[in-house]
Amino acid sequence: MMKKILTAGLAALALLAAPEARAQKDNCFTAQIDHLSRGEIRHGGLPAGEKDTEVPPAAFVLGRTRLGFTYEGTGLTAKIGLQQGGVWGSTGFGGLQISEAWAGWKGEKGLFFKAGRQNLIYDDQRIFGNDDWAMTAISHDALRIGVERPTQKAHLILAYNQNPENMAGGSFYSGGIQPYKAMEAFWYHLDLPGTALGASLLLTNITMQDGEKGEHEINRHQQLFGTYLSFKPKTWSAEASAYWQRGENEHGIPILAWMGSIKSTVTLSEAFSLSAGYDYLSGDENFATPSGGMIGVTHHDTIRGFNSLYGSRHNFYGAMDFFYVSTYFNGFTPGLQNLYAGAKWAPAKGLDLDASYHFLATAAKLRNADKPLGHELELAVGYALGKDVRLSAGYSFMYGTKTMEVLKRSTDRHRLHWGWVMLIISPSAFSARW
């Protein structure tokens, strides 16, 4: 009897262990853990009036943990992502947030939609990206509708934000998770068959609001349109982009701004590559820079400073994030020119080294200062400790000019240092199919 029971049990286990031979598994549920800890040391660039030599470097540890749950079925996908992050030791440690919460559907011919809180990532992430370097990624409450074919993709993005206390009437929106009232965007991408050429077209309309709650709000509209091009054969690649901004800001000032970029990468071997590029972002004219470390107040009848909107800004314009992460006085900017070159080397499995140089200057002519801002040198190293564990470190040094000192309102432009060490652990905690 025992032998028969054992035989029957083994047969049942064999059937359970090989369900794919009996039926197709159409459902999948996964749980993903993503933990990041980054220690940083910063020195230099203190506000005017403070002597850097008398103040020790700032040191702190940032932490972020995400827990994501994803369901995939026959044409259906849904995800919810929880996130907590902040500075180690701070009160509440940043609090618990919902970074993603969306559901979507995809048809057989490439038609799809996705609704809810989601990341918008397009092209090189210059205009739309998740900015994953930051402790809180950029998310949008939006509806995406589109179609994706092997060589063509078209997406329509619609967003409309509101405060819950305005449910009884009115449409004024302020203080929410998004900086805009409404947004419409259209993205089209084409991979030219038989070539290594790809081209994207992006059109956006963003609605900002002027006024205060209880008063008649005024909707202001600003547009961005442009293109991203990439050519990527086997041993080298080239990228270029150009975007223009029109309309008006939330205070009704006309916008007339633009940007352009170009980058080329040469792969000399499987382990070594060189790259170089140039970014130009237009700036506001008559940007006053009087002595004493203050930013001058001047009348602007047109905004000419380009706004990079919701891109992954840390990926561009220097790793120290002096530009387009931190802002200038009253939101105006003299723009930026970024001429850079770099090299990447992977001498061993799991190990990679990165070095780059940036020459930075303003785009607009300043009243009382020259255009050059300075030189930034960046070094980084990364090593994969295991399948889901990666350790990396970096150091950046900025040798600034007098213009850099005035614009950033700092006293010591020649000793701007930043170092960091980061640990990323991202295992797939659980996965099931049925």
Tens-digit pLDDT profile for residues 100-144:
999 999 998 899 999 999 999 999 999 999 988 988 889 999 999
Q: Which among 11-25, 81-95, 170-184, 333-347 has the top mean pLDDT?
A: 333-347
For range 226-239, the mean pLDDT: 95
162 occurs within a structural domain: yes
pLDDT digits (tens, 9 = 90+) for 358-409: 999 999 988 778 899 999 999 999 999 999 999 999 999 999 888 887 776 5
146 occurs within a structural domain: yes
Residue of 114, 31, 32, 116 lying closest to 75 (CA atoms)? 114
Q: Among the listed ranges 23-37, 56-70, 157-171, 287-301, which one has the minimum average pLDDT value? A: 287-301
Count of positions (residues) in the chain: 434
Residue 165 has pLDDT above 90, yes or no: no
Write down the pLDDT at residue 14: 40
19 occurs within a structural domain: no
246 occurs within a structural domain: yes
SS3 category, 109? coil
CATH number at residue 155: 2.40.160.100
Residue 231 has pLDDT above 70, yes or no: yes
* Contact present, 414 and 43 (Cβ < 8 Å): no
Write down the pLDDT at residue 2: 37
6 occurs within a structural domain: no
- Residues 6 or more apart in contact with residue 21 via CB below 8 angstroms: none
**Percentage of the chain lying above the pLDDT 90 cut:** 61
Residue 363 CA, chain-centre distance (Å), reads 23
User: How many C-beta atoms surround the C-beta of residue 16 within 10 A?
Assistant: 9
Name the band, by pLDDT with cuts 50, 70 and 90, for residue 12.
very low
Quote the CA–CA distance of 95 and 210 in Å, as a whole number.
30
The whole-chain average pLDDT of the chain stands at 86
Write down the pLDDT at residue 322: 84
- What does DSSP say about strands 416-425 and 76-87: parallel, antiparallel, or unpaired? unpaired
119 occurs within a structural domain: yes
Q: How many domains is the chain partitioned into structurally?
A: 1
Residue 207 has pLDDT above 80, yes or no: yes
pTM of the full structure: 0.86
Write down the pLDDT at residue 21: 42
For range 224-252, the mean pLDDT: 94
Name the band, by pLDDT with cuts 50, 70 and 90, for residue 217.
confident
264 occurs within a structural domain: yes
Q: Among the listed ranges 43-57, 186-200, 267-281, 349-363, which one has the minimum average pLDDT value? A: 43-57
Indicate the residue type of 126.
R
**Residue 292's domain spans which residues?**
26-433
Residue 19 has pLDDT above 60, yes or no: no
15 occurs within a structural domain: no
* Contact present, 20 and 26 (Cβ < 8 Å): no
